[in-house]
Homo-oligomer: A and B are copies of this chain.
Amino acid sequence: MNRTLVFDNRPYIIARASACGVKESEGPLGSYFDRVFHDDLLGQESWELAEGEMLRQTTQMCIERGGLLPGQVGAVFMGDLLNQIISSGFAARELGCPYFGIYGACSTFVEGMALGAMMVDGGYRESAVSASSSHFCTAERQYRFPLEMGGQRTPSAQWTATAAGAVMMSAVKSERAIARVDNATIGRVIDYDIDDANHMGAAMAPAVADTICRSFEDTGRGFADYDMVATGDLGRIGRDILIELLEERGIKVDRDKLLDCGASLFDESQGCGSGGSGCGCVASVSTGYLMSLVEDGSVGRLMIVGSGALLSTTSSQQGQSIPGVAYSVALEGMKK
């Protein structure tokens, strides 16, 4: 069953913005981010308010670069990891923009790109923004342990990025246009019975493999047709599992073209286990790093595959396994 949305009018990506915390700025991609927050509270009273503020600033930066005011955007698709996506609700409250709340765990940013591109491609709005965030301190205390406890982490565990990213898609070509959105593939929720919340890459890899295979089949494309295939936050271990799963299904994987945002965000020396994670991971790396490669022409065709682990603390405490979901979008640079 075909799951790919084909965008005949190929919406333009006309603006992008990214932000991150100190640790992320010290990683290999640090120089690519637009804004670095040296205070992880951003002057707010709580980390939760800080995350909302980071998301607001990043989204506003993107909208302004697209030449609009927040109220003029067709719609902003937003989501984050906090219960009831409260960072997004608070960011949208400040922005006053038309708003769709979405949740695909760490795949949220790409889910929003798929929906936003559809909205623009279909002529329903002239522009749409996808924006997403995560914050190490909010995620850690919501999903794991109080930071003050200084808990040990397993080598397979991932590190929630303090980061945000926003992208604007438009029906109107402008001088600012970076790329066009060709298509997007909708995810399915897939569960391989992984119940270790410190092994998210393994939980998400099957959904990523499923979406990549589906996209390739629906579009008749393969690794040869892309300059880069970027996964969201499988981490180093999840990336290896993905390669195995793809090869099992007869996909010829070009390892040099396969980048994982989470595995790239931190250096192994930074003590972040298998790599970065969180909604802000694929959002900031896509808008900060990947789209800069597309903008300067060094990457022509880019596929981004966001991956999400659909767990909650309640589901974990009740012994449930962790299903995964993955959404993809395919971009083509203006300079290709």
Contact assessment for A314 and B99 in the assembled complex, using a CB-CB cutoff below 8 Å: no
Given A89-B189, A314-B82; A102-B105 close (CB under 8 Å)? no
Interface residues of A in 79-98 (CB under 8 A from B): 79, 81-86, 89-90, 92-93, 96-98
Chain-B contact segment, one of A118-126, A169-177, A249-257: A118-126
The number of chain A residues with a CB under 8 A from chain B is 58
Task: Return chain B residues, CB-CB under 8 Å to A313.
Answer: 83
Docked pose: A186 CA to B99 CA in angstroms: 7
Tell whether A318 is near chain B: CB-to-CB under 8 Å: yes
Contact assessment for B90 and A323 in the assembled complex, using a CB-CB cutoff below 8 Å: yes
Contact assessment for B83 and A103 in the assembled complex, using a CB-CB cutoff below 8 Å: no
Contact assessment for B122 and A100 in the assembled complex, using a CB-CB cutoff below 8 Å: no
Contact assessment for A100 and B124 in the assembled complex, using a CB-CB cutoff below 8 Å: no
Which of chain B's residues has its CB closest to A311's CB? B84
Given A71-B1, A84-B310, A310-B84; A188-B315 close (CB under 8 Å)? no
A324 nearest CB across to chain B (Å): 9
Task: Return chain B residues, CB-CB under 8 Å to A312.
Answer: 82-84, 86
A56 nearest CB across to chain B (Å): 11
Across the interface, A311 reaches (CB within 8 A) one of B75, B86, B104, B124, namely B86
Q: Which 8 A-B pairs have the closest CB atoms?
A: A122-B122, A89-B310, A84-B312, A98-B186, A92-B189, A93-B189, A83-B312, A101-B103
Q: 18 more A-B contacts (CB under 8 A) besides A83-B313, A86-B311, A142-B314? A: A1-B98, A75-B186, A79-B103, A84-B103, A85-B103, A86-B310, A86-B312, A92-B188, A96-B188, A99-B186, A99-B325, A100-B102, A100-B115, A101-B102, A101-B310, A115-B115, A121-B122, A122-B123
16 contacts between A and B (CB under 8 A): A1-B71, A3-B98, A5-B125, A75-B186, A84-B310, A84-B315, A89-B189, A89-B323, A92-B325, A99-B186, A100-B186, A101-B310, A101-B325, A103-B103, A122-B124, A142-B314
Residues of A within 8 A of B (CB): 1, 3, 5-6, 45-46, 48-49, 71-72, 75, 79, 81-86, 89-90, 92-93, 96-105, 111, 115, 118-119, 121-125, 142, 186-191, 310-315, 318, 320, 323, 325
